Structure 1
Amino acid sequence: MTPRGFAVPKPAVAIFDDDDQPVWTKPTEGQAYDFKVQEVNGQQYLSYWTGDDKIRGHGSGEWLVLNSSYKEQGRVKAMNGLTADLHELVITPDGTALITVYEARQVDRVDLNDLNTTLDSMYMWDCLFQEIDIANKELIFEWRASNHYGINDTFHEPGETGSADNPFDWFHINSVQKDKLGNYIVSARYTHSVTYIDGMTGSVLWILGGKRNNFQDLSDGNATDFAWQHDARLHDLDAFPQTMHDSISAHNLPLNGRRTQLLTLFDNAAEDILHSRPYSRGLLLELTYPSHPEKPLLTQQERDHPSPHSSYTARLIHPYVHPAHISSSSQGSLQLLPSQTLGEDPRLLIGYGFNAVWTTFDPNGTAVCDVRFAPSASWETGDVQSYRVFQSRWVGRPRTVPQVALAGDCDRNGDRVYVSWNGATEVRGWRVQTALHQRSRRWGRRDWFDVVSVEKKGFETGIALEGRMVFRWVRVVALDADGRELGASEPLELGRERAKRLFGQFVRAALRTRKLMVLSHVVAPVFALVVVFAGVVMWCVRVCARGQGVGAPILRSY
């Protein structure tokens, strides 16, 4: 996810585990969007967008791709002198990249007949998508909305937009997908439409929803009345093997010139103060359409008088509505989560975009997991939000080492070591080790001795040292599920860390008691005494170690 908003001071990308504990986070230069796992040739990568998102509703930037060590693998940029939009990057099985693009252009008055504007001409945001050969940085395919849609197809009012400095956003592309046939599916928020596009010619094969809907609605209008939607995806019928069992054998392959597929999308049903229904919903639709593009589209009369035998039909299989009837006026996502049991329907993960919520639904529409990462009082305020939310299997193996810190109250609770390893997904436990010398070979057998092993708990695990015998140096080793070592932290010198902590505690105590006038006269002498004391202790340890020999090392208790 990519938490952002007025109440999120530092933009970042973030990964959480099944217990909603942080796994990895990274601050970003500017706001990040569409953070997800992509797979190419059996290798997993992370991708996200960064750039200028101050343009309302879209952005101008580029895509970063990271490998499993969280190192930058490459960047994806738009072609033909344009910049990449924030809404979508899909890396296809062929290793190409699909991205959305926005470009400002001028429109003459003749194209503005039905718009509520007095302008003789206006500037608008034209919407494109590009398919790019990542390796060779070559443009493979480009599609432009204005070549196939008229500006009067929009449901969005121009308002005060339309100038060169503030173009009118009339189409608003927000998702693109390439199917097994090589065709493309595009979602456009402001035309309330999902468009199926020929992958060779770029021509429109059909339109679902909006003013130019080609489908008869077999569900009393509930399959085609979505509005301001996001994240439209086509699926084969066997994506829902239980629900679609009766239809799979008859319709999964083209039959009598017709093809049947499933479509999922997030129906916002809202845009700012406009609402077509009181809540947002996820939709699972069944679409039947001609398998040959030359088949003629439906006439208006055919759309007005639906028939089960018509060439283009849309049927609502199931809506997915949050128990709190959340209405999200922007952003959002819907992802299928395949079942681990063969033959079972998937669950559905819905991210509510402008509202800080993600929810997992059973196939029948029951919410089985509901996560809220900000109070409900912040919903629809823009304080905390995430454009999309994804769930994926991910193995992260950072090239860094675990980070450790010594903490505790010198007077009461003793020492505790806190350890974390940003991005390491295979860690299941931690082992504290100790040594008399940081890199010594004096004992001849092993440098580091085990003190205690504990289970990993959350992003950061605290381990008590009180009552345990330790040497001068301490480190923490990460363990996998089988107890194998994955990596070790840099060693901590306990005496030095205790002296630093004692000094910090004294400063905080002085500030709390407001004895600032004498601070400069007290801090220096006390700190000097602490340093001298630590040095004497370390000298004693060395002397004792030399006297004990190899077989009997001196231990200290912290």
Structure 2
Amino acid sequence: MSAPALHPMRVTVTTRRPGTADGHIFVAPYNLSRPVGQTGSLIVDDSGSPVWFRPLSYSNLQNADFRVQRYRDPRTHRSQPVLTWWQGSLAIPPWYTNLPGGAPEPGGCYYVYDDHYHLLRTVFARHGFNADEHEFLLTRRGTALFIASKPVPMDLTRYGGPRNGAIEDSEVQEVDLATGKLVFSWDMLRHVDPAYSEVPASDASSSGGVWDAYHMNSIDEDSEGHLLVSARNMWAVYDITRKTGGIVWQLGGRKSDFTFGPDAEFFWQHDARFRPGHRISMFDDGCCNEPNPPEQQSHGLILEIDPHTRRATAARTYYHAPGLYSASQGDTQGLPRAHEFIGWGQESYYSEYSGAGNSEGQGARNLLYDARMPGSDISYRAFRHAWTGKPYYPPSAAARTTGGRSTVYASWNGSTETRAWQVLAGRDPRSLRVVVGRTPRTGFETAVPTAVRGPYFQVRALDARGKILGRSTVVALPR
């Protein structure tokens, strides 16, 4: 009632046990066919209630990689928490068939918003590449690392593809946020032979002649200047040194430098991350891509990497109950107390597990939290983050009357500090008095009944101590 332009999806919480990590949940819902609710960037609490929602104007515009990061202000050099995400259009039939499925169309960008929901920075890809939805990382150096993609014309006949084809190239780009200048780049086509792709070049016939040989989908950086790059369609993760751009080692794929222990092999993976010690985490999609049959059930995976013996072993695995087979997307996020938060990609779930994890067929073990998005709505990644939102705009209010009693509706999109509402009323909009002193906040919108007929009303948002955080405009009962 108080925010009629907002129509976020309704999340169903299926498991909620004590002991979850603190924070809200961050998703960017969209749909490969028909969405339930608006697409956009959405923060929800553990009950599934919206906390902040920024809807998009039409359904084939998407957000992705929506999360909290630290931003170093180039003027003050101070660090602050911010929201970041990608925005653009993806090559999803029937809207676009000119690129491989899931590739970014031209025109996308990355946004950085502060805790008042002000836009701080807009970041674009450089030298002819398109901003890619798969990764956007802020660094302590005041830069942004991200993936950029573009089709490069190429004769693909030696790979089994068309003569007048192209390859969807991916590049790691780093931009200085103060100047907008490109300070580093690493091009996959220059360093990795596409002949070892698990996707045949003949697939280009269904995507405008463009072959998605690599499908780079994550970047991570360690303290020693190494980059960890995941290429989904190579079934491989690469350790790259920034100094020379050389590949230190390849994990997985047809040219792997490592052997694998039981349950350690992965396929079609996403979200490869450095972990403390010699560990790497990822989301192992593991399945569902033709012409290859399903290989294994999708799951979160933490690998122990022995740099001397060049052997990878499964340290932890995180499966869902019921078992899921996610054809694309997904992430595995490390949380405090060794918890793991799993976004299930093309399956409409997100979950939290305690540290020990579980094994295939035992997905309910160590499960602390599980929620499902409606219909076939999905989010490329899902995260849990601590976040304090202090909107620069005022709270919203609406008033209705039924049977001689008035109900005032109060909400404040994005406020995480509001704990209660105060209602004011009066016959004149310039002389209102408090008629309801304190009503606890009950979800995104709180309905406050009152016998006072107004007809003018205003709401005040209160924090835990009763301090006024913000005031709505004055609203009147409909005539």
Residue 330 of structure 2 is matched in structure 1 by 332
Matched, 1:429 2:474: no
Change in CA separation of 1:405 and 1:163 when aligned onto 2, cut-off 3 Å: closer
| Contact 2:135 2:219 (C-alpha < 8 Å) held by counterparts | yes
C-alpha distance in 2, partners of 1:270/1:180? 33
C-alpha distance in 2, partners of 1:131/1:153? 27
C-alpha distance in 2, partners of 1:128/1:82? 8
C-alpha distance in 2, partners of 1:389/1:182? 27
* Residue in structure 2 matching 1:399, options 367, 392, 400: 392
Matched, 1:53 2:90: yes
What is the SS of the residue equivalent to 2:189?
Answer: helix
* Residue in structure 2 matching 1:88, options 127, 131, 135: 135
Higher Cα Rg: structure 1 or 2? 1
Residue 148 of structure 1 is matched in structure 2 by 191
- CA RMSD, aligned part only? 2.0
Distance apart, 1:276 and its partner CA: 4.2
Alignment length (residue pairs): 423
Matched, 1:166 2:213: no
Residue 75 of structure 1 is matched in structure 2 by 122
Distance apart, 1:369 and its partner CA: 0.8
Distance apart, 1:170 and its partner CA: 0.4
Residue 280 of structure 1 is matched in structure 2 by 298
Q: Per-residue CA shift, 1:488-537, capped at 9, x if unaligned?
A: 111233xxx152xxxxxxxxxxxxxxxxxxxxxxxxxxxxxxxxxxxxxx
Residue 437 of structure 2 is matched in structure 1 by 452
Matched, 1:2 2:28: yes
| Contact 1:323 1:367 (C-alpha < 8 Å) held by counterparts | no
Distance apart, 1:335 and its partner CA: 0.5
Residue 478 of structure 1 is matched in structure 2 by 461
Q: Write the mapping of 1:47-446 to structure 2, written as runs, cut at 5 A.
A: 47-54=84-91, 55=99, 56-60=101-105, 61-108=108-155, 113=158, 115=159, 117=160, 119-120=162-163, 122-161=165-204, 165-217=208-260, 219-220=261-262, 222-223=263-264, 225-237=265-277, 261-273=278-290, 274-289=292-307, 310-339=308-337, 346-365=338-357, 366-374=366-374, 378=375, 383-410=376-403, 414-440=405-431
Q: Could you tell me the percent identity over the aligned residues?
A: 31
Change in CA separation of 1:50 and 1:435 when aligned onto 2, cut-off 3 Å: same
Bigger relative contact order, structure 1 or 2 (CA pairs below 8 A, ≥6 apart): 2
Change in CA separation of 1:333 and 1:275 when aligned onto 2, cut-off 3 Å: farther
C-alpha distance in 1, partners of 2:180/2:422? 47
Unaligned regions of 5+ residues in structure 2, if any? Answer: 1-26, 73-78, 92-98, 358-365
Residue 81 of structure 2 is matched in structure 1 by 44
Distance apart, 1:331 and its partner CA: 0.8
Structure with greater proportional strand content: 2
Distance apart, 1:410 and its partner CA: 3.3
What is the SS of the residue equivalent to 1:159?
Answer: helix
Letter in 1 for 2:281: T
Residue 461 of structure 1 is matched in structure 2 by 446
Letter in 2 for 1:58: A
C-alpha distance in 2, partners of 1:160/1:213? 24
Letter in 2 for 1:2: A
Q: Per-residue CA shift, 1:131-176, capped at 9, x if unaligned?
A: 1111111111111111221111100123341699331000000000
Change in CA separation of 1:428 and 1:163 when aligned onto 2, cut-off 3 Å: closer
| Contact 2:128 2:150 (C-alpha < 8 Å) held by counterparts | no
Residue 540 of structure 1 is matched in structure 2 by none
Distance apart, 1:122 and its partner CA: 3.2
What's the TM-score once normalised by structure 1's chain length?
0.72
Change in CA separation of 1:267 and 1:363 when aligned onto 2, cut-off 3 Å: same
| Contact 1:451 1:470 (C-alpha < 8 Å) held by counterparts | no
What is the SS of the residue equivalent to 2:85?
Answer: strand
Distance apart, 1:372 and its partner CA: 0.8
| Contact 2:269 2:285 (C-alpha < 8 Å) held by counterparts | yes
Out of 19-28 and 2-11, give the one that drifted further: 2-11
